[in-house]
Structure 1
Amino acid sequence: MKWMRHNRYLSILTLWIAAIFLTTGIAVDVEAAESDGTLMVPMNISKLAEKVRPAVVNIRTVKTMSGGGRVFRHFYGNPFGGRDNPFKDLFPQLPDEGPHDFKQQSLGSGFIIDTEGYIVTNNHVVEGADEIKVRLSNEKEFDAEVIGRDPNTDLALIRIAPNKDLVALETGDSDSLRVGDWVLAIGSPFGLEQTVTAGIVSAKGRVIGAGPYDDFIQTDASINPGNSGGPLLDMNGRVVGINTAIIASGQGIGFAIPVNMAMNIVGQLKKSGEVTRGWLGVGIQDLTDELKEYYKIDQESGVLISQIYEGDPADKGGIKVGDVVIAVDGNPVKSSRELSAQIANLPVGKKTSITLIREGKEKTVEVTLGKRDNEIQRVGSDRRNNGDLGLELRTLDPETAQRLGFESDAKGVLVTDVASGGKAENAGVRQGDLIIEINREPVSSIAEFQSLMSKIKKGEAIRFLMKRPRGGFVVANMTK
C-alpha cells in the first residue's frame, strides 16, 4: 500500500512539474506512445526551426504595371474636373501624355529543394515579374530566373546560381498526415522574414474553389500575406505542404498544397518547364439522390458525365452524357475530384480504360487522352413567359452561354426569371438554370418546350433536367 501511495504521489508531482514547464515556456521534450492514448506534444520546436530556417527564402519581385493605376490617377488627376494636369503651370517640364507605367513590388516565400539552386514557390508570387530577388536566411541576395509555372495549382519553380551556402529541405509524405498532427510554417508574412508559427493539421482534402485540382491541407498554423510559397513542415523538419491561401475574413485558417502532388508537378517543371496533364474532354459532377432517381442509377458512388466536348477523347471513345464513371484503369473513382486528379496525373496520349455504368449495366471503354478543342455554334433566341409554373424563359444564345459558363454548343431553354412562390421556385428552379429535358425528352427551344408541356395533363408530374451555370445537373420535380 505504501508503495502504491508513493507511486501515486510521484506521478502527481511529475505532472505538476511538467505543467509548470509548459506554462512558463520552458521547452519540454515529450514523446507519448500512440498506444497509451496520451497527448502528442511536439519536441523542442526551437531546435527544429533552427535546423530548417537556412532552406527557407524570402522572395521579392518587381512587376511593371501599365496605366498608372489608382495611385497615379489620385496624384495626377484634376480634382476640379477635366483632364488637365494642375501642376503643369508650376512645373512645365512635366510630360503631358497621361498616365505612365509604374513598378509594383511584392513579397513572398519559398524553399530550396536542392543545392543546385532550385526553389519552390507559388505561381502568384512570381507571375509577370520583371525582376526576382531571393534572400537567404544569412541575408545574402541573388537574382532568380523562372524555370516553369503551373497556374492551375499555383506552383512555380525558380532558380538561383548554385553556391556553398545553399541548404535543401527534405520532402515528407503528405498522404500520411493525420488531422491533429503538429506542423510548422515558415515564411515572410507582411515582409517579416523568417517568421515561424506552429499549429496542427485542421483538415485534409479541402476544396476552396482556387482551381480545378483543389486538394488542400488546412492548418491553424498562422499563415498571412507573404507566407505564400513557404513550407509547411512536420515535426521531423520534412516538407509536407506549400503554404498557398488564406481566408481573408478567417483567423487560424490557412491552406497548403500537399507536397505529394506538388513534387510531381515540380518534377515536370524542372524537366521541361511546363506541366502536361491528361484530358478526357467531359463535364462531371458528383451523384445526388435526385440524379440517381432520374437516371435510375443503383450505384452508391461514382461520377456522372454531365457534358461531352465534341471531338475530344471521351466523345471519340464512346462515352455519353448520363454515364457514371466508377473506375480509371481499374482504380476506383468515388468523386469528381478523384476523377479529375486521376486523369490529370496520366500522360497525354495514354490509352486509358474507363469503367462506367450505362443504363444499369457496367461497361468499359478505351480512351486515348488528349487536349480540348473549343468550337462555338449559334443558337437562336426568343422569349416566352410560362405563367402556370411561374417562369420566364428564352432559348440559349452563344453569347449568353459563354457569359454563364455553359459549353459553347449547349442547347436548352434558359430560365431568365422565376416568380416568387410559384411552382417552379418551390421545386428549386433558379434564374440562370438551363432546362435541357422535360420528362426525359430533350428540349432546345421555346417551341419544343411548349410542345412538350402541352402533352402533360393537369395534375401529372413534370420533371426538369437542368444545367446550373458553372455547376452540374439539377432535377426539379413538380406537378402541372
Structure 2
Amino acid sequence: MPSTMTEVAQPSPAFQMRRALGALLMLSVMMTVFWSQGVAARSLPDFTELVEENSGAVVNISTTTTPKNGGTGFHGLPFNERQLEQLPEFFQDFFRGQQSPFGGGPGNAQPRRSMGSGFIVSSDGYVLTNNHVVEGADEIIVRLNDRRELPARLVGTDPRSDMAVLKIDDGDDLPVVQIGRSRDLKVGEWVFAIGSPFGFDYTVTAGIVSALGRSLPSENYVPFIQTDVAINPGNSGGPLFNLDGDVVGINSQIYTRSGGFMGVSFAIPIDDAMSVFRQIRDKGTVSRGWLGVLIQEVNRDLAESFGLKRPRGALVAEVMEGSPAEAAGLQSGDIVLEYDDEEVQLSSDLPPMVGRTPIGETARLTILRGGEETVVDVEIGQLPEQSGARQPAPAGENSGSSAAPLGMTVKPVPAELADSLGVQGGVVVTDVARGPAFEAGIRPRDVITEINREKIASIDDFRDVVAALPDDRAVSVRVVREGRAIYLVMKP
C-alpha cells in the first residue's frame, strides 16, 4: 500500500528578506525611543548637589507674639495673620477662635506662634526674610540645618517691599548663600526653592520662571518674579535659586483661591532685595525715589485717543502738588514713554524705575504731550512715608447752568467739593443716561476736568469742547473720582 507524504511550502527568499528587514526596523525604532528617553532624562536638571551645597544657609524662622488685647485662644498656630488670610474662610474662623472649640477671648489669650523661612547672607549673621513673617513678633528664633536654634534680633523692616533684616548675634562663621543677579533671569529657565511649608523643614520644590516684572496691587515698587515653583505658607522669606546655586529672589506671595499652591508664585528680585538690605543695615531705614504722579495703564482705546500707534507707556492721571513732577512741569495727560532711556511698556514698569533712582539725581523722561514727543528732566525726590488720600465730599445741589450732550447732565463744581478734591474748574456729573458717557464709564459725582486733552474750567468750556468733538475716533476724558484722577475713553 503506497504511503502519502505532505510537502510544506517554504517561504520564498524575498519574503524572508522582508521579514528580516521588518524586525531590524522595529529594533531600530525601539532603540531610538529608549535613546531619546535617556537623553531627555539626562537633560532634566539634577538638584541634588545644589540642595546639599545651599541647605546649610537656609533657616527656619519661628516667632512668638503676645496678644495685646485678647488672642485667638489657639496655641501653636503655624500661620501669622497675613498667611492666615490666604486660607479658606472656615479655617480663618477656626484658627482665630471665633468658632474654635479651643475657645477665645481675653481670658484665654495665648501667645501666637508663626513660622517662615529665611537665608543667611553674611557669615556674621545677617538674615533676610519677609516682613510679614516677623511682623509684630516679640521673640524670633532661627533654626539652622544642623539643628542649632539661635535667637535673632530685628534690625529693620521695609513693608513696601515686604522685607525684613534679622541679625544672629550668637553665631560664628555661619554658612552663607551666594547672591546672584535677578536682572539676568530669563522666562522659562529652571529655578528651585528651599523652605518650610506648613512647618516641614527644608522642603525643596522646583519649577521655571513664568514671568518677570510683575506688579501686584499691594507692592507697586517691587517688580516681582513669577514662577510655578510650589510655594505655600511657611515658604515665605525663603530663597529662590537658579541652576548655578545663586539666590535670585525671595519667595514672598502666592495667588490662591484655596489657601494653598495654585501654580502662581511671586518672589522679590534679589537685586532689589539687596538694595533694601544694605540700606537697612547701614542706615536703619529705606529711601526710595519719588516722582509724584498718579499713573494708569494705556489701553488700546486710550492709545488711539492720544495718537499712539499701539498701547505703551504710563499715562499721568494726576500730578501731586509740591512734587518733583510738578516742579519739572509734568502735566496730567502726559504719557511717559521712556525713563532714563529705558522704555516704559506698562504703567507698572515706572514705579520700580523711579524707586531705584538715588534721591536728588536727575532723571530724563521722554513723554508724549499733544501728539509730540518731548524730553523732561526731573530731579527725583524722596518717597514720603505715607501719602494721605483725599476723601471725596458730597456733590450737593447747585442751581448753575447744566448741559446734557452725550447722555449726561453736568453742573459747575461746588466750592466745597472743589476744595476737598483739590480741583480748579471742571464740571460735576449729576446724571448719566444711556449713551457715550455711560459706555465710557462716566458716573454721577464724577468731576470732569478735561475732554480730548482740552481743559474744562466751566460749563461754557464743556459745551464748546463737546460741540467740537470728532465723530470718527475715541477721545479721552479725565475725571476725578473719590479723590483720584483717572482717564476714560469715550466714543462720541
TM-score, normalized by length of structure 1? 0.75
User: Offset at 1:425?
Assistant: 2.5
Cross-structure match for 1:288: 299
Give yes or no for contact 2:73–2:108 (8 Å, CA) kept in 1.
Answer: no
Per-residue deviation, residues 124-183 of structure 1 (Å, max 9, x unmatched): 111222111111112211111122211111111111125346211112222222222222
Q: Which ranges in structure 2 are unaligned for 5 or more consecutive residues?
A: 1-19, 75-92
The percent identity for this pair of structures is 38
1:148 aligns with 2:156: yes
1:187 to 180, 186, 195: 195
**Correspondence for 1:42:** 45
Change (3 A) 1:14 1:297: closer
Query: Residue in 1 aligned with 2:147?
Result: 139
Deviations 1:350-381 (A, max 9, x none): 23333333334443333222136768699783
| Residue number among 458, 462, 470 corresponding to 1:452 in the alignment | 462
Distance of 2:294 and 2:332 partners within structure 1: 9
**Number of the residue aligned with 2:368:** 357
CA distance in 2, matches of 1:102, 1:240: 38
Given candidates 53, 66, 69, the residue that maps to 1:67 is 69
Q: In the aligned structure 2, how far is the partner of 1:14 from the partner of 1:148?
A: 59
Q: Answer yes or no: is the 8 Å Cα contact 1:278–1:369 preserved in 2.
A: yes
Equivalent residue number for residue 35 of structure 1: none
The aligned counterpart of 1:323 is 334
1:4-403 to 2 correspondences below 5 Å: 12-13=30-31, 16=34, 19=37, 30=42, 40-43=43-46, 45-68=47-70, 103-161=111-169, 163-164=171-172, 166-249=174-257, 251-296=262-307, 301-371=312-382, 381-383=395-397, 391=408
The alignment's C-alpha RMSD in Å is: 4.4
Question: Distance between the aligned counterparts of 2:206 and 2:465, measured in 1?
Answer: 65
Describe the superposition over 1:70-94 as per-residue Cα deviations: whole angstroms up to 9, x where unpaired: 65999xx9x9xxxxxxx9xxxxxxx
SS state at 1:52 partner: helix
CA separation in 1, counterparts of 2:485 and 2:201? 41
Instruction: Write the letter of the residue equivalent to 1:63.
Output: T
Which of 446, 463, 478 is matched with 1:466 structurally? 478
Task: Give aligned pairs, total.
Answer: 435
CA offset at residue 273 of structure 1? 1.9
Give a deviation string over 1:412-457, Cα, whole Å, max 9, x none: 55657755x444333443567542224554346xxx4487348856
**Cα distance between partner residues in 1 of 2:197 and 2:219:** 23
Three-state SS of the structure 2 residue aligned to 1:285 is: strand
Partner amino acid, structure 2, of 1:115: S
CA distance in 2, matches of 1:16, 1:401: 76
* Closer/same/farther in 2, CA of residues 6 and 113 from structure 1, 3 Å limit: farther
State the alpha-carbon separation in 2 of the partners of residues 226 and 397 from structure 1: 53
Deviation at 1:399, TM superposition (A): 10
Which residue of the partner structure matches residue 490 of structure 2? 476
Change (3 A) 1:338 1:60: same
* Equivalent AA in structure 2 for residue 339 of structure 1: L
Q: 1:347 to 1:8 in 2, by over 3 A?
A: farther
| Shift of residue 112, structure 1, vs aligned partner | 0.9
Superposition deviation, residue 233 in structure 1: 1.1
| Residues 203, 350 of structure 1: alpha-carbon distance in 2 compared, 3 angstrom cutoff | closer
Unmatched segments (≥5 aa) in structure 1: 23-27, 31-39, 80-86, 88-96
Q: Is the 8 A contact 1:246 1:253 kept in 2?
A: yes
How far apart are the structure 2 equivalents of 1:463 and 1:262? 41
Moved more, 256-265 or 334-343: 334-343
- Asked whether the 8 Å contact 1:377–1:409 carries over to 2, the reply is no
Shift of 1:277: 1.1
CA contact (8 A) 1:66 1:100 kept: no
Q: What secondary structure sits across from 1:152 in the alignment?
A: coil
